[in-house]
Amino acid sequence: MPASLKEVAAKVGLSDTTVSLVLRGKGDHRFPQATRERVLAAARELDYQPNAGARYLRGQRTNMIGFFTSVGLATAHDAFFSEIVAGMRVACSERSKKFVLFGHYSQERDDDAYADIMSGQLDGLVVLMQPHEPLVKRLAATSLPVVAIADVIPEFPSVVADDRGGSRMLAEYLAQRGHRRVLYRVHAENETDECVSRVRRHRAFREEASRLGMSVVESVAQYPSAEEYYIQLSSVEAGYLAEPDGQRPTAAACWDDFAARCLIAECRKIGIRVPEDLAVVGFDGCDSRIPDDATRLTTIRADWSNVVRTATELLQRMIDGNEVPMETIVPAHLVAGDTA
Amino acid sequence: MPASLKEVAAKVGLSDTTVSLVLRGKGDHRFPQATRERVLAAARELDYQPNAGARYLRGQRTNMIGFFTSVGLATAHDAFFSEIVAGMRVACSERSKKFVLFGHYSQERDDDAYADIMSGQLDGLVVLMQPHEPLVKRLAATSLPVVAIADVIPEFPSVVADDRGGSRMLAEYLAQRGHRRVLYRVHAENETDECVSRVRRHRAFREEASRLGMSVVESVAQYPSAEEYYIQLSSVEAGYLAEPDGQRPTAAACWDDFAARCLIAECRKIGIRVPEDLAVVGFDGCDSRIPDDATRLTTIRADWSNVVRTATELLQRMIDGNEVPMETIVPAHLVAGDTA
DNA sequence: GTGAAAGCGCTAACAG
DNA sequence: CTGTTAGCGCTTTCAC
């Protein structure tokens, strides 16, 4: 157990008040140089570190920011998760906040998650959740400042990547390169909520593609299990790709990079050349740093570290009692690779 | 601000003591069913959540575990970091601990890191650091339970992957496949401390290779900058690879997977086929899940999630005041891929 | 069966 | 310039 304020005070023969004031630089003008130095010296000698718990009890600020996500751990390996967490860490560090990482509670244990989050230790929370999760309502009923990222949650100010703009860029890119029939690979979970990032990507792509005179067929990217971290080719997709020239899609857009990567691998297996036979584009840009002979994916780079930095900034403003916009869209840009 | 114990007590017209006892299930035999139910109901209604700070102040347990690493953020993208963090998260969750993620302090700001860590909130800390960093001594002078991972730190109980065993397996694997001359790609930072994982890998490989009659030449994998996340071919390496058959190394072992991936990419660029002209092996196994047409690297899979789980377990034992072994080695195994 | 009182380490209001 | 007092929310000892 580290030294307490009282011990430091005892050592220099002053009261806790004085020591507290001096140590926080609050009494810089009230106390003589000599006193301040004695206090500082004693604190250093005893390796005094203020007890954050006690300080909070008094002051109502913990300087802790939390991040909660309900997404499973299967995806914890991927670059997206890594970018988000690393970004949060940096953003917190820049603001001298401690960073508490929540998550990995099974669905039934919403209570545990809620209890952990609410046990009075956080100044604010950044969440990555689906808008319909029950926990959302519970958190919203609270006075805890919360900011959502990646998917919009109507209850909270949300910071998202430019999903619609990105999709439009992709559609335009493909149209410009002469594609007329394109396959769109959607996420396995059906979802119709415009809040959700993948829905925005999907709809915006479909609309822009139509506008540009491309026809769009759709398929579902089915994640088989948490262990087998890979998406097979569906029979629907196999069907489309087996159609004769003139009917076969010449391009495929995928809701995220991972689905795109898997599609490319599956194509190669069955002798479909990418991009010659099928152009493939993704969405994310997270894995652009994979350092090897892998094909460079044509994709939208969403700047996740910027998303979390912005989210943290908004959170701070909320903590300070200020108004913030309910939806903030962080620009994304197209990265032309080898696959389309 | 959530409801306090006192408010719950006021609501049911009982004392805080009673409420506290009931809510923690401590008075299950002393209080009648009716009382307990009234308390529970009131707590639920007010959405009472115990204040962890206050509880700690009294009880000296925060149920928070920290993770600190001093490694830069350039590598934050990589699978290693991601596995460690996700593993810590799961391990903490399993033990109902909160997980605080430290790191990203510039070297000069050791004080900030130390202050953050020591502000009296952690039950224990897992660190990923180099043994000679100044912060090590400061933490060691403390009564805070600390466990090191990946690299051994003599001051703390350490949990590491089987670096030596892994390297021996790789040497044996290459020898069995007929290689006689092999290049070992070491990490840029020179280091001689046997505590350090990459030193163990290097030495064990060199020794086992010699024992098996292979000759070993060495080169340095120079990371050019934090931004350019890639390792070029050095002139030394280019020289080795340009030597005539019979002198040229036929295999390259790299201190980690990343260095191996980059080497492979560089080889392809200059027309050296992998594995035909040069067999390449790595060490880590973190990126085995990259889902695309990328070459599957032959490497040692170090089970990092197991490492962190073990570390967390030891930490708990230390927190509970028990003795723990100073060095724990978690088994690793060879994964045969396409590159050797 | 239940409650009063003390104290964890800190800060803020108010005296001197 | 410095100290006293009170209290943040909780648990624990002891008394009723």
State the pLDDT at residue A234.
93
- For the stretch B221-263, pLDDT in tens is 887 666 566 788 999 999 999 999 999 999 999 998 888 888 9
pTM more than 0.85: yes
Q: Which of B103, B264, B268 sits opposite A89 (nearest CB)?
A: B103
- For the stretch A239-284, pLDDT in tens is 999 999 999 999 999 998 888 988 988 898 899 999 999 999 999 8
Does at least one atom of strand D sit less than 7 Å from the CB of A75? no
Chain C nucleotides reached by a protein CB under 7 Å: 1-5, 7-13
Q: Is the pLDDT of residue B128 over 80?
A: yes
State the pLDDT at residue A103.
81
Contacts B116 to A, Cβ<8 Å:
98
Residue B63: partners with Cβ closer than 8 Å, 6 or more residues away: B52, B96, B97, B98, B123
Question: Cα distance from A65 to chain B (closest Cα, Å)?
Answer: 10
How many inter-chain contacts (A to B, CB under 8 Å) are there?
Answer: 180
Q: Do A118 and B258 touch (CB under 8 A)?
A: no
Q: Do A76 and B53 touch (CB under 8 A)?
A: no
Distance CA B230, CA B235 (A): 16
The residues with which B159 forms a beta bridge, in sequence order, are B149, B328
Strand, helix or coil for residue B136: helix
- For the stretch B29-45, pLDDT in tens is 788 888 888 899 999 99
CA A289 to chain centroid, in Å, comes to: 18
Q: Do A291 and B96 touch (CB under 8 A)?
A: no
Alpha-carbon distances of A306 from A196, A302, B239, rounded to whole Å: 19, 9, 42
Tokens 């493909």 appear where? A174
Q: In terms of DSSP bridges, do strands A98-101 and A124-128 run parallel, antiparallel, or are they unpaired?
A: unpaired
B 163-192 residues inside an 8 A Cβ radius of A: none
B273 close contact with A: CB closer than 8 A: no
Residue A159: partners with Cβ closer than 8 Å, 6 or more residues away: A147, A148, A149, A307, A308, A310, A311, A314, A328, A330
Report the percent of chain A where pLDDT is more than 90.
Answer: 56
User: What radius of gyration do chain A's Cα atoms show?
Assistant: 26
Strand C neighbors by CB, 7 A:
A 1, 4-6, 16-17, 20, 23-24, 26, 48, 50-51, 54-55, 57-59; B 13-18, 27, 30-32, 35, 54, 57-58, 120
Q: Could you tell me the pLDDT band of residue A159, with boundaries at 50, 70 and 90?
A: very high
Per residue in B195-212, is it b (16+ CB within 10 Å) or e — as a string?
bbbbbbbbebbbebbeee
Of residues B25 and B162, more confidently modeled: B162
Q: Which of A73, A86, A264 sits opposite B90 (nearest CB)?
A: A73
State the pLDDT at residue A316.
95
A 10-49 residues inside an 8 A Cβ radius of B: 47, 49
Distance CA B41, CA B131 (A): 53
In 10 A of CB B5, how many CB atoms? Answer: 19
State the pLDDT at residue A247.
94
Q: Do A52 and B119 touch (CB under 8 A)?
A: yes
Distance CA A300, CA A198 (A): 13
Question: Cα distance from A302 to chain B (closest Cα, Å)?
Answer: 15
State the pLDDT at residue B76.
44
Contacts A60 to B, Cβ<8 Å:
1
Poorest-pLDDT segment among A63-72, A101-110, B203-212: A101-110
Single-letter code of the amino acid located at B30: R
Q: Which of A52, A105, A112 sits opposite B120 (nearest CB)?
A: A52
Q: What angle do CA A33, A34, A36 make, to 5 degrees?
A: 65
- In chain A, what is the straight-line distance between the N-terminal and C-terminal CA atoms, in Å? 60
User: What radius of gyration do chain B's Cα atoms show?
Assistant: 26
Burial grade of A46 (CB within 10 A; 0-12, 13-18, 19 or more): middle
Number of residues that make up chain B: 340
Q: Do A121 and B53 touch (CB under 8 A)?
A: yes
- For the stretch A290-323, pLDDT in tens is 544 557 889 999 999 899 999 999 999 999 999 9
B230 close contact with A: CB closer than 8 A: yes
Alpha helix positions (H), A142-229: 163-176, 197-211
B301 close contact with A: CB closer than 8 A: no
Distance CA B308, CA B87 (A): 6
| Nucleotide of closest approach to A57 (CA, C1') | D8
Q: Could you tell me the pLDDT band of residue A105, with boundaries at 50, 70 and 90?
A: low
